[in-house]
Structure 1
Amino acid sequence: MPAAEAEVLDEIRRLRARLPQVTGAVAASADGFVIAQDAAGPEAEGIAALTAASLAVAVRLAAATGRGEFRELLVQGEDGYVATYAAGPTAVLTVLAEPRTNVGRLHLESRISGARIAELVTRSDPT
């Protein structure tokens, strides 16, 4: 595992330690390729691909409504949350959480991790 991937995985694990209601997380490129994952259940590749598709719609919706650049997307299902956060211009962090999760805390902790992942991904990008 390259250094940036290992550091991103460490950040995901720190997020899960800070917020035990998080059941999994995937850091991916904006085009749907997994960077690092710590998720039980659904396949990380599937989550990354679906995140890329929903990200495309969310970015267009934010722009079309004059809301600026994409920051985050929250989906609440019967069995919990799926939240996606921008992690710099080329990556996203998708977090799976239990239904009893405090959404404010989910946002706070995930935004911190998203910012850290953005730093790690940007630092490792040679361009």
Structure 2
Amino acid sequence: MAAEAEVLDELHRLRARVPQLTGALAASADGLVLAHDTPGVEPDGLAALTAAALGVAIRMAESTGHGDLRELLVRGVHGYVATYAAGGSAVLTLLAQDRVNVGRLHLEGRRSGTRIGELVDAATARGEPAAEPARTSTKAPLRTRTPRGTTPRSPSTPATNHPRTSES
């Protein structure tokens, strides 16, 4: 994406305006990284988690009659994760220390989200791809998760009549 450099510049400017930010990521709504400044955080994983959280937040806003999602704020013991709509097809996710001024975080996050949305939407209108395909990782693949933490039975293991796994 030709706008990637401009989006990255916006992320750097945002981090300069809000010193308590520990990371900033712009991603497509479906979880592809557009640009990132996330030291110590794997950007592809953060983009994927953002897309998953975004899906739930959108459904929650719609099902409660509160309209289109504008932002999502998660507060953890050690800080905040804030996600803002950025145009029609992108999101901005910010990581911040617990001592950040949340009002300032929202003010600057919304401004940058608007700017990034303009950049991404303009690039999309020019026919540029919204995001580059994910890079091939050299990491080992993640283990397959099984329901409720159970492990799959091998063919030689007899089936048990466990209430969580038996069909009624």
With the length of structure 1 as denominator, give the TM-score of the two structures: 0.97
Partner residue of 1:100? Answer: 99
Partner residue of 2:34? Answer: 35
The 5 Å alignment of 1:2-81 reads 2-81=1-80
For each residue in 1:22-62, what CA deviation from the matched residue of structure 2 results, as whole angstroms up to 9, or x when unmatched?
A: 01010000000000000111200000000000000000000
Structure number with higher helix proportion = 1
After TM superposition, give the deviation of residue 89 of structure 1 in Å. Answer: 1.5
Distance 1:11 1:3 in 2: 14
Identical pairs, percent: 66
* Letter paired with 1:87: A
The SS at the match of 1:85 is strand
The SS at the match of 1:68 is coil
Question: Based on CA coordinates, which of the two structures has the bigger radius of gyration?
Answer: 2
Distance 1:79 1:41 in 2: 15
Distance 1:89 1:53 in 2: 17
* Letter paired with 1:26: L
Task: Report runs of 4+ in structure 1 exceeding 6 Å deviation.
Answer: none
User: Larger RCO: Structure 1 or Structure 2 (Cα < 8 Å, ≥ 6 residues apart)?
Assistant: 1
Distance 2:51 2:74 in 1: 14
Distance 1:34 1:99 in 2: 25
Unaligned runs of 5+ in 1: none
Distance 1:61 1:8 in 2: 29
Distance 1:20 1:3 in 2: 27
The SS at the match of 1:107 is helix
